[in-house]
Chains A and B, each alone.
Chain A
C-alpha cells in the first residue's frame, strides 16, 4: 500500500471512531444527573421557567432526536452554542486553543531536549553515576503531581525570588492586542518587545513544569532504546572504524533509537494538546484544559461535546503526521 492510500484509509477509519466517541460522550452527559439549565438556574428560577428553558434547548426531546440534530449540525460545521455563555462553541474553542498550543509546544520542546540529551548521555554512561541520576530524575518527575510541582515553582520563583509572574499569559498592565492568539508570535508581529518579554516570562513556569513532567517519559524511553542500539554490531563497527564518539552517538545510534520514540512523542503531544488540565488550572492558563473543567462544572453540553470532538480530530491529525514522519525517517517503514 502506498503512503497516500494508507493515509486516506486512516482518515476514513477515523470518522467512525469520532462518531462512536461522540455518541459515547453525548450519552454519558445525559445519563449523569444534572443539565445546563439546572446548573445555571437551579434554586433560583421557578420550576415552570426551568421546564421552558429545557424545552428551548431541546433537552426534553428524545435522546435520538437530540443526537441526530447535533450530529447533522456538526457536518455543517455547527458545533452549537455554549449554554453557559451563549456564544458559538467553535469561536470559544478557537479562542482557547492557541493558549494550549503555546504552552504545549513550549513544554514539549523542553521535554524533548531533556529527554534526548539526558537519555543519550545516560545510555552512554550506563550504570554509572549520571545514568543512575537520570533514572532517578525520570522516576521522580514521573511520580510527582504536576500541580504540586507548579505550586512549588510559584512559591519559589514567584513569591520568594519574584523572578516570574505566578499566573496567566500576560501582565495586566501590558498593552497588547491578540491577532493569532499565539502571544509569542503576536508580540513579534507587532514588534511589541515589552509584551514579548512578558509573554515569555509567563510561559516559563507552566511550560517548564509541564515539560519536566513529560520529559521523564521521553528520557526513560530514549535511554532504554539507546542502550539497546548501542549494543548492536553496527555501532561497534562504527567505533572500530574510528568514528568520533559524539558522531556515533548522535548520528548513528540516536537516529535508529528515535523511530519507536517518535510515535510515543507524537501521541504525547496530542494528549498534551487535549488539555494539560492540571497545569492550566494551577497557572490560571486560559487554554482548553481549564475550559473543559469550567464547562463540565456547568454541564455545558454543547461545549463539552465540541471540545471532545475537537480533541479527537487533533489526535487523529497528529497520529497521521507521526506516521508520515516515521516513513520519512525510516525508509524501511512501508504501509
Chain B
C-alpha cells in the first residue's frame, strides 16, 4: 500500500514537471544590477533604463543589432534649416496599457514634466530644449536653444519617453510600476527581489516572443554564477567576474554571448596639477601604459585596447593614440627632466568597487607598466566612489582611472563631456582649449555626417596632442544563457530586448 502511494506520488511529480516544461512560456533572467527608479524623469542608471526600454516606447528606436535610428512613436520628423526646430508626426494607434492614447499633448506633458521635476537625467533635455509645442493632436514640436545634431539620439534615451498623464503626477516623481506603452507590462514588482514582465496586449508593435519574463536580483557576481550553475535562472546578464566567464565558456551547459559595448575606460590627468601640467609628462606616461596587458591579464582577452576617446565601431573613430613604446616614453620624460637618478614620482588613483572587482588589478598593471620604464615611481591610492568623485571635482587627484557610459550614441557624447571647458571641469581634468571647443560647437550645428566626421577627426588629433586623457580599453557586453534560450542580441546600443527572447 505504502509503496503504491510512493509510486503514485513519483508519477504525479514527473507529470507535473513535464507539464511545467512543455508549457514553458517564461524565461528567467538573473542580474546583480538594481532598479532605482522607473520614472523616466528620474531614471538614470543602466538597469532601470533597460526595464523602461522594454515596457515603454519612445519617439525613436534603434534597428535591432545596429545604432541606426528608426521611427517608433514618431512616424516621421522634420528638422528646420537652422537645425533648431524639430517637428514630430506621431502614430495614431499608440496607447498606454489603460487605453490612454499617446498624443502630442502627452509628449508635451512628459517633456515639460522632466524639465520641471529636474531629476538626475533632466539636464539632458533642459540643456538643449527651449520650449515644446502642440501643433495638432498628433503633431509635436520642440524648439532647441541651439542647433544640436545629436538631438534625435537623445530622444532615443528613456528621459524622452512619454509617460501616462493619468498615472504620473505633474509635480512629483512616480515610484510605482509604470503604465506600459511598450512590448511588456509589469505584472509584479517586489523591489530588489524580482520583477515580472508580461506581454502588453495594448502594444502597437510586434508581440513579444515569450509571454513572461522574470528578472531575479542577486547581490553579487558569485551568487549570480551559482544561480546559473544550479539552473535557477536561464540567462545571466550583468555582471559576472571575467574569470568566471572564462570557465563558463568551457561548460557545454551554457552559451556565452559577447557584444560591443559603448563603455570606455581611460586615465584622466588633472592638467592643472604638477607634474601632470607638463605635456611631456603626460605623453611619456601615455607611451608607457600597457593596454594589452590589461586586456589579456585582467579581462582574459574579453575587452579590446582603445586608442581614442571615440569608441571603435562608431563613425569618426580613429586610432590616434600611439602604441606602447618604452623608449619614446623615456625620451619624453627626459625632456620633462626625469631620468633614472631623478625618477618621476606620482600618485595614481583608482576606486575599488564602482567599476567592479577588477579595478585593483588594473591599477596594479598600470603601475607595473609605468615602472618598467625605470624612470617612474608610482604610488597606488584608492577611495570609495563617493569620496573619489569629491576628490576629482576638487582637483585633489592628479592621475586617476575613470569610465564613461554614453547618454546618447553620438561622437558628440564622447568628446563634448571630455574636452569642453565645462565638461572637463566635471571630470576633473580641468582641460581648457578654445579651439577644440569651437570645433565641437561647429559639429553640433551640422547635421551632415561627413562634415561632422571631418571635424571629429580634427578634435581627436588635438586630443592626442594635448592628452588630458589616455584611453585604455573599450568594454564588452556579456550575457550567458542556457543553449535552449534563443533570440539574444547584444546590441551596440546596450538595449537588452526581452521581447526577442524565446525558449526552444
A residues lining the B interface (CB < 8 Å): 32-36, 38-50, 52-53, 56, 84-87, 92, 95, 151, 154-155, 158-159, 162, 165-173, 177-178, 280-286, 290, 294, 297-299
- A299 to B390, alpha carbons, bound, how many Å? 12
Contact indicator A172/B230 (Cβ below 8 Å): no
B118 at the interface (CB under 8 A from A): yes
The 15 sampled A-B contact pairs (Cβ below 8 Å) are: A35-B386, A36-B386, A44-B44, A46-B423, A47-B426, A158-B226, A159-B230, A166-B232, A172-B30, A178-B190, A282-B219, A284-B220, A285-B219, A297-B384, A299-B386
**Chain B residues in 8 Å Cβ range of A159:** 226, 229-230
Partner of B28, one of A38, A52, A173: A173
Interface string of B21-46 (1 = CB under 8 A from A): 00000101010001011010010100
Using Cβ atoms and an 8 Å threshold, which residues of chain B touch A33?
A: 383, 386-387, 390-391
Task: Name the residue on A nearest B194 (C-beta).
Answer: A172
A32/B387 in contact, CB under 8 A: yes
Given contacts A39-B386, A40-B120, A286-B193, contact A167 B422 (CB under 8 A): no
Q: Mark B175-210, 1 if CB is under 8 A from A, else 0.
A: 100000000000010111110000000000000000
**Mostly helix, strand, loop or mixed at chain B's interface?**
mixed
* Cβ contact of B173, chosen from A41, A47, A52, A86, cutoff 8 A: A86
Residue of A85, A151, A171 with most chain B CB atoms under a 10 A cut-off? A85
Q: Would A173 and B214 be within 8 Å (CB), given that A33-B390, A39-B389, A158-B226 are in contact?
A: yes
Check if A35 sits within 8 Å of B390, measured CB to CB.
yes
Contact A42 B216 (CB under 8 A): no
Interface centre among B28, B36, B391 (most CB of A within 10 A): B36
List chain B residues, Cβ under 8 A from A155.
226
Contact A46 B26 (CB under 8 A): no
- A301 and B357 CA atoms in complex are apart in Å by 25
B residues in contact with A299, CB < 8 Å: 386
Contacts of A171 in B (CB 8 A): 232
Nearest 9 CB-CB pairs, A to B? A34-B386, A42-B389, A39-B386, A284-B219, A38-B389, A166-B226, A33-B387, A33-B390, A167-B223
Interface membership of B455, Cβ < 8 A: no
Query: Which residue from B39, B353, B386 sits with its C-beta under 8 Å from A38?
Result: B386
Residues on A with C-beta less than 8 A from B34 are 294
Q: In the complex, what's the smallest C-beta–C-beta distance from B47 to chain A, in angstroms?
A: 13
**Complexed CA–CA distance, A41 and B173 (Å):** 18
Are A173 and B120 within 8 A (Cβ)? no
| Cα distance, A281 to B224, chains bound together (Å) | 12
Tell me the smallest distance from the CB of B80 to a CB of chain A, in Å.
27
Q: Which residue of B123, B188, B386 has the most chain A CB atoms within 10 A of its CB atom?
A: B386
Which A residues touch B387, using CB under 8 A?
32-34
Residue in A38, A87, A285, A298 whose Cβ sees the most chain B Cβ within 10 Å: A38
A to B contact number (C-beta, < 8 Å): 148
Q: Are B230 and A162 in contact (CB under 8 A)?
A: yes
> Residue on A with the closest CB to B386?
A34
The answer to whether the Cβ of B227 comes within 8 Å of any Cβ in the partner chain is: yes
Tell me the nearest residue of chain A to B175, going by C-beta. Answer: A87
- Residue pair A166, B233 in contact (C-beta under 8 Å): no
B219/A41 in contact, CB under 8 A: no
Q: How far is the CA of A42 from the CA of B383 in the complex (A)?
A: 14
- Looking at the assembled complex, report how far the CB atom of A180 sits from the nearest CB atom of chain B, in whole angstroms: 13
Report the separation of the CA atoms of residues A47 and B424 in the bound assembly, to the nearest whole angstrom.
Answer: 10
B218:A284 contact, CB within 8 angstroms: yes
CB atoms of B118 and A47 under 8 A apart: no
CA distance A178 to B191 in the complex (A): 11
- Within the complex, the shortest CB–CB distance from B481 to chain A, in Å, comes to 15
Among B219, B227, B385, the residue within 8 A (CB) of A297 is B385
In the bound complex, do residue A85 and residue B227 qualify as a contact, i.e. CB atoms below 8 Å apart? no
Q: Would you call B218 and A168 a contact (CB within 8 A)?
A: yes
Contact A41:B120 (CB < 8 A) given known A167-B226, A284-B223: yes
Contacts A33-B387, A39-B385, A52-B118 hold; do A46 and B123 have CB atoms under 8 A apart? yes
B467 at the interface (CB under 8 A from A): no
Q: Given the complex, which residues of B lie within 8 Å of A286, measured CB to CB?
A: 191-193, 217
Give residues of chain B (109-162) contacting chain A, Cβ–Cβ below 8 Å.
118, 120, 123, 127
What CA separation (Å) do A150 and B203 show in the bound complex?
Answer: 44
What is the minimal beta-carbon distance from A79 to any residue of chain B, in angstroms? 15
Q: Which residues of B from 426 to 442 have beta carbons under 8 Å from A? A: 426-428
Residues of A within 8 A of B393 (CB): 38, 42, 47, 50
Contacts of B232 on A, CB cut-off 8 Å? 165-166, 171-172
Residues in B with CB closer than 8 Å to A32 are 387
Q: Whole-angstrom distance between the alpha carbons of A38 and B383 in the complex?
A: 14
B426 & A281 in contact (Cβ 8 Å cutoff): no
Q: Is B265 an interface residue (CB 8 A)?
A: no
Residues of B within 8 A of A177 (CB): 188
What residues of A have a CB within 8 angstroms of the CB of B452 in the complex?
A: none
A172 lies within 8 A of B28 (CB): yes
| Chain B residue, CB-CB nearest to A293 | B219
Residue contact B175 to A86, C-beta cutoff 8 Å: yes
Report Cα–Cα, A85/B47, bound state, in Å: 13
Q: Are A170 and B391 in contact (CB under 8 A)?
A: no
For A47, what are the chain B residues with a Cβ–Cβ distance below 8 Å? 393, 422, 425-426
Shortest CB distance B187–A (Å): 10
Tell me, in angstroms, the Cα distance from A162 to B193 when the chains sit together. 21
- In the complex, the answer to whether B120 meets A45 with C-beta atoms within 8 Å is yes
Question: Cβ of B335 < 8 Å from any Cβ of A?
Answer: no
Chain B residue numbers with a CB within 8 Å of A151 are 222
Question: What chain B residues lie within 8 Å of A85 (beta carbons)?
Answer: 36-37, 175
Which A residues touch B73, using CB under 8 A?
Answer: none
**B426 and A166 contact, CB distance less than 8 A:** no
Chain B residues contacting A170 (CB-CB under 8 Å) are 193-194
